[in-house]
């Protein structure tokens, strides 16, 4: 009976495993100060090459700076 249960639950367990891995990657990406700095540099490059407008640059920069500030506060609290 347990073997049958395992076989029936395998697709769901696989989906849960994938969801957990995606969550780990997202958390690592959003909590890595270096990755955020790289994104800021890439954003600045796009702006300098006129690929994005100044308004869009300002919006994205504000978002990234808030994330960076949050990461630094969390590191100080630890």
Residue spans per domain, the chain: 1-31, 33-78
Which two three-digit tokens encode residue 33?
């100060």
Which residues are CB-neighbours of 36 under 8 A, at least 6 positions away?
30, 64, 67, 68, 71
Instruction: Give Cα separations from 76 to 23, 70, 71, 72 (angstroms).
Output: 23, 10, 9, 6
pLDDT tens readout for residues 20-32: 999 888 877 777 8
Whose structure tokens read 């790289």?
A: 38
Q: What is the pTM of this model?
A: 0.62
User: Which pLDDT score is estimated for 1?
Assistant: 57
At residue 9, the pLDDT reads 80
pLDDT of 45 strictly over 80 = yes
């Amino acid at each position: 009976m347990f073997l049958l249960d395992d076989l029936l639950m395998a697709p769901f367990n696989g989906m849960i495993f994938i969801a957990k891995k995606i969550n780990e990657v997202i958390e690592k990406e959003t909590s890595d100060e270096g990755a955020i700095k790289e994104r800021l540099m890439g954003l600045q490059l796009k702006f300098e090459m006129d690929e994005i407008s100044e308004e869009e640059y300002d919006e994205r920069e504000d978002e990234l700076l808030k994330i960076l500030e949050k990461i630094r506060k969390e590191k100080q609290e630890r």
